[in-house]
Every structure is written in C-alpha cells, then in structure tokens.
Amino acid sequence: MRQTVPNSQDPEPTQLYLYERKQRHTALVLLLNMGVLIAMYAAARKWIEPSEARDQLFYWINIAVPVVEVCLLLLAIYFWLKNGRFRMSVDTNRFTIDDPISKTYSFSVPVSEIEGIRQTYRNHTNYTTTVMYLKSGETIQLTPNYNYSRRALYDALKEANSTIQLPEHPYRFKQV
C-alpha cells in the first residue's frame, strides 16, 4: 500500500467521506447470481424451440453452467469466511482506499498531492477507467469494483482540496 508519513504538526483530520463494504455482502451477491444463472438456464430450456442447434447449444451449456455455479459457490464461501473490508475514506488530509481483494487498488495519499481525476471510456473495448493523477506524475487507477458514490467522493475531495481537477459529472466518461 502506498503511504506517506503524515506530518505530526497537522491538526486532527475531519472525516469527509467514508464508504465501507464487507466481503460477506459480496458473497451474498454471488449466491444471488447463482440463482439468476439457474433461472436463466431453466428459462432457456423451456422457451428455446427444439432443434439441432438447440441440442448443440445445450451440450455446451450443460458443461459451462455447472462449472460457473461451482466457481461462484467457491468464491462465495471464500468471501464469507474471509469477510475482509473494503474501505474508501477522505478526510481533510488524506484519501485512502484499502481493498482486501486487490492491493493494486489500495493506497493512501495526501489530498494536497492530488492534481486531478479523469474518467475515460474506450468505445472499441467498452471499458471505463477512473484515474487519479498526483503532482509527482504518478497515476493511480480507482477501483471499479464497488458501488460507492462518485458524487459524494468528488465532493469530499473538492472540500479537502479545492484545486483538484475533477470531472464535470461523476457518472459521465470522456470517450477516448
């Protein structure tokens, strides 16, 4: 995790934004996805007209669905037992993300070092990214894996450091 040593002369920081999510929530979502997959499989079985193409399709689906179901179940069990905590916070001094799934997305930086955040959309790959730029030239990609409020996050960052360049709209991405 990237981290700089806070200045001991700084006043006690004020919490401006906090988002936390336990992995048990993710485990429940995975179990829900298992149910949706079974429902989709049953609906396809019921409504796809019998034909040779259907038989070929279901040959592969009958292999893929159980494999996916087992993978989802194993991930759900892992997340339920591990129950790590994703935490995103902004206070008057620091912007911190602690991601138990990926240390790549974990960091802690002073808000005074943040130059800006850019959101881009790549049309040919249908891929969005949110990247934070630091005054040092370093870039840090913000995780897309959690349903945090970008609007509240950006408002807190702007309150902590009014010079940060933020997207005009938190849910619109510039096409590149």
pLDDT tens string 137-170 = 999 999 888 889 999 999 999 999 999 999 988 8
Burial class (CB in 10 A: 0-12, 13-18, 19+), 113: middle
For residue 11, is it within any domain?
no
pLDDT at 172: 84
Looking from the CA of 18 toward its CB, the CA atoms found within 13 Å total 5
pLDDT confidence bin for 53, thresholds 50/70/90? very high
Quote the percentage of the chain above a pLDDT of 90.
77
pLDDT at 176: 76
For residue 59, is it within any domain?
yes
Crossing angle between the packed helical segments 23-47 and 52-82, to the nearest 10 degrees: 170
pLDDT at 81: 97
For residue 148, is it within any domain?
no
pLDDT at 144: 84
For residue 53, is it within any domain?
yes
Our count of domains for the chain comes to 1
For residue 155, is it within any domain?
no
For residue 67, is it within any domain?
yes
User: Can you give the residue range of the structural domain that contains 64?
Assistant: 24-82
pLDDT at 146: 87
For residue 140, is it within any domain?
no
Mean pLDDT score of the chain: 91
pTM for this entry: 0.76
For residue 58, is it within any domain?
yes
